[in-house]
Structure 1
Amino acid sequence: MNNSTRLLERAARLGRPVRVALLGAGQMGRGLVAQIHRAPGMEIVAVADLDVDRAEQALRAAGRDDVVRADSLDAAAAAIKDGRSTVLSEGLRLAELPVDIVMEVSGIPDVAAQVAMSCLLAGKDVALMTVEADVTVGLLLGQIAQAGNAVYAICRGDEPAECLKLVEYAEDLGLEVVVAGKGKNNPMRPTDTPADVTEEAAHKGMNPKMLCSFTDGTKTQIEMAALANATGYRIETSGMHGAAVDLPDLAKVLRPKSEGGILEGDKPVVEYVTGDVAPGVFVIARSDNEVVTEELHYLRLPGEGNHFQIYRPYHLASVEAVLTIGEAVLDRQSSFRSTTWSADVIATAKSDLAGETVLEGIGGNHVHGTAYDADDARSANLLPIGLAAGSRLVRDVPAGQALTYDDVELDESRPLVAMRRLQDALIGSGVLTAHPA
Structure 2
Amino acid sequence: MGYTKRLLDRQAELGRPVRVGIVGAGQMGRGLVAQVQLAPGLEVVAVADVDIDRATTALKNAGRDDAVVENDVAKASQIIEAGQSVAINDGLKMPELPIDMVLEASGVPDVAAQVAYAAITNHTDIGLMTVEADVTVGLLLSSMANAGDSIYTICRGDEPIECVKLVEYAQDLGLEVVVAGKGKNNPNRPTDVPDDVVEEAKVKKMNPKMLCSFTDGTKTQIEMCALSNATGYKVEVPGMHGIACDVDELDKKLVPVADGGIRESDGPIVEYVTGNVAPGVFVIVRSPNPVVTEELQYLRVGKGDYFKIYRPYHLASIEADLSVGEAVLDRHPSFQSTTWTSEVTAVAKHDLKAGTKLEGIGGHHVHGWTTNAEDATAKKALPIGLAAGCVLTADVKAGETVTYDDVEIDENRPLVAMRRLQDALVANGTIG
Q: How big is the shift at 1:71?
A: 4.5
Show the counterpart of 1:218: 218
Specify the alignment match of 2:385 in structure 1: 386
- Give the Cα separation in 2 of the matches to 1:145 and 1:233: 23
1:304 to partner: Cα distance:
4.3
Tell me how far apart the structure 2 counterparts of residues 366 and 71 of structure 1 sit (CA, whole Å). 37
- Counterpart Cα distance in 2 of 1:431 and 1:172: 29
> Partners in 1 of 2:176 and 2:55 — Cα distance?
46
Separation of aligned partners in 2, 1:315 and 1:170: 18
Q: How does 1:266-345 map to 2 (within 5 A)?
A: 266-301=266-301, 303-345=302-344
Q: Establish whether residue 256 from structure 1 lines up as the match of residue 264 from structure 2.
A: no
Q: Are 2:71 and 2:89, in contact at CA under 8 Å, matched by a contact in 1?
A: no
Q: Which moved more, 1:289-298 or 1:151-160?
A: 289-298
TM-score by length of 2: 0.99
Counterpart CA distance in 2 for 1:38 and 1:380 is 48
Q: Distance in 2 between matches of 1:321 and 1:80?
A: 22
- The aligned counterpart of 1:175 is 175
Work out the CA distance in 1 between the residues paired with 2:113 and 2:169.
30
Is the counterpart of residue 412 in structure 1 residue 411 in structure 2? yes
Distance 2:218 2:108 in 1: 14
The separation in 2 between residues aligned to 1:90 and 1:377, in whole angstroms, is 35
- Contact kept? 1:251, 1:304, Cα under 8 Å: no
Asked if the contact 1:245–1:273 (Cα under 8 Å) also holds between the matched residues in 2, the reply is: yes
Runs of 5+ unmatched residues, structure 2: none
Q: What is the rounded CA distance, in whole Å, between the counterparts of 1:39 and 1:386 in structure 2?
A: 32
3-state DSSP of counterpart to 1:430 = coil
Runs of 4+ in 1 over 6 A off after TM superposition: none
Aligned to 2:28: 28
Equivalent pair of 1:252/1:304 in contact (CA under 8 Å): no
One-letter amino acid of the counterpart of residue 3, structure 1: Y
Q: Deviations over 1:4-27 (max 9, x none)?
A: 010000111111110000000111
Question: Map of 1:91-170 to 2, 5 A cutoff?
Answer: 91-170=91-170
Encode CA deviations 1:218-261: one digit per residue, 9 max, x unaligned. Answer: 00000000000000000111000001111111000001112221
Deviations 1:54-107 (CA, angstroms, capped at 9, x unpaired): 111111111111111224111110011011101010110101000000000000
For 1:409 and 1:77, the matched residues in 2 are separated by 41
How many aligned residue pairs are there? 432
Match of 1:399 in 2: 398
Q: Whole-Å Cα distance in 2 between the matches of residues 312 and 87 of structure 1?
A: 37
Q: Provide the rounded CA distance (Å) in 1 between the counterparts of 2:427 and 2:414.
A: 20
Q: Give the structure 2 partner of residue 13 of structure 1.
A: 13
8 A Cα contact 2:71 2:87, kept in partner: no
Cα shift readout 1:405-430 (whole Å, capped 9, x = no counterpart): 11111111211111000000011111
Specify the SS of the correspondent of 1:33.
Answer: helix
Q: Which residue of 2 aligns with 1:355?
A: 354
Whichever residue aligns with residue 281 of structure 1, its letter is V
Distance in 1 (CA, whole Å) between partners of 2:70 and 2:89 is 10
Unaligned 5+ residue runs, structure 1? none
Amino acid at match of 2:257: K
> For residue 375 of structure 1, what is the amino acid of its counterpart?
E
Distance 1:132 1:167 in 2: 22
Does the 8 Å contact 1:182/1:279 carry over to 2?
yes
